[in-house]
Structure 1
Amino acid sequence: MNVWLGFCLPWLIGIYILRDDRSLIYTIGPAASFIAFAFNEIGYFRQWWQVTPEQFGVLSFLPYNLGVFPVLGCLCVFSARKSKLNIFLLLILFSLLKTGLEMILVLFGKVSYGHGWNAFWTFFSYLIACSLTYGMYRLLRRA
């Protein structure tokens, strides 16, 4: 289930949407994936969240770290390049989207929270991650 929801489905959608701008996949995808790995390692270590199957530990995060998070990072930058929306509003919208998707996983028992973690902290962490991804894009664009 994690592989389908966290990896296959996001990449199928992402490749279709980004078919004319694949450079984002090669530049922003790895950066967004790295950011996801870092956040999920910290969250797992601090026991703020857990993804099923729990017996696999951080390996359960792998499909998400290599799938939905880099795809959404690419789509965020793609949207920033194509739309006239203020970048701060766009970062908030993508953070809300990620938070909403995660809340669905929480409702279905795929993700569980601990040690005071909740939807607010999830949104805040996604806002930081989206901002870092966009900042990486800005840095790469200047190089």
Structure 2
Amino acid sequence: MLLMIVLGFIIPWLTTGYVYKRAPKIFFTVAPFAALIALILNQLGIQTDLWAIHTSSNVVLLNTLFLDLGIFTVSAVWFTYFLYYKERKPAWMYLMFVLGMTGVEFIALSIHLLTYHEKWNIFYTFLMYFGGFIIIHLIIRKLDKLKVYP
């Protein structure tokens, strides 16, 4: 569990100081949505027995909470920063972030922090991350239309 907290929560949040100085609105707009999306998808996957996360906690919610509020939320913050504030091409951002998060999950599979059950595989994980980043992108576009971002 300590490894999950350090790698999945503390280290990702340590990278966000740079973004916060330049675009603090992301933390009050996109980050809550990203955390909610991650929490819902992870709990849905665990409760429907598609995958299991192996930690020392007996509380199922705690198995993913540090990841949901950590690396998944932080990846959406960085995605928003590069896509909106740095005006990077969406295709490259999708490719980089979806493959990056799928790669992180592949590492978790390799070191047995995570196991997929027979109905799930890494391709479905790729699609799930792609869908999650599409939702974040739609939220960014809506916030832009509402003139939330400068």
TM-score by length of 1: 0.92
Superposed displacement of residue 17, structure 1:
4.2
Change in CA separation of 1:108 and 1:21 when aligned onto 2, cut-off 3 Å: same
Q: 2:31 aligns with which of 29, 53, 63?
A: 29
Output the CA distance in 2 between the equivalents of 1:78 and 1:24: 8
Identity percentage of aligned residues: 26
Judging by fraction of residues, say which structure has more helix.
1
- Report the counterpart of residue 4 of structure 1 in structure 2: 6
- Counterpart secondary structure, 1:97: helix
Unpaired stretches in structure 2, ≥5 consecutive residues = none
- Give runs of aligned pairs for residues 1-143 of structure 1, distance below 5 A: 1-53=3-55, 55-81=58-84, 82-85=86-89, 87-143=90-146
What amino acid is aligned across from residue 119 of structure 2 in structure 1? G
Question: Over aligned residue pairs, what C-alpha RMSD do you find?
Answer: 1.5
Shift of 1:119: 0.9
CA distance in 1, matches of 2:82, 2:30: 13
Deviations 1:33-70 (A, max 9, x none): 01101111110111111112163323210000001111
8 Å CA contact 2:19–2:81 kept in 1: the answer is no
Change (3 A) 1:20 1:142: same
Letter of the structure 1 residue corresponding to residue 111 of structure 2: F
**AA aligned opposite 2:143:** L
State whether residues 33 and 70 of structure 1, in contact with CA within 8 Å, keep that contact through their aligned partners in structure 2.
yes
Gap regions ≥5 residues in structure 1: none
Take 1:84 and 1:73, find their aligned partners in 2: how far apart are those partners? 14
Runs of 4+ in 1 over 4 A off after TM superposition: none
- Report Cα offsets for 1:80-121 as digits up to 9, x if no partner: 121432x13322321111000111111111111103211100
**The 10-residue stretch of structure 1 (49-58 or 99-108) with the greater mean CA deviation from structure 2:** 49-58
Aligned amino acid, residue 62 of structure 2: L
**Shift of residue 6 of structure 1?**
1.0
Q: Output the CA distance in 1 between the equivalents of 2:27 and 2:6.
A: 19
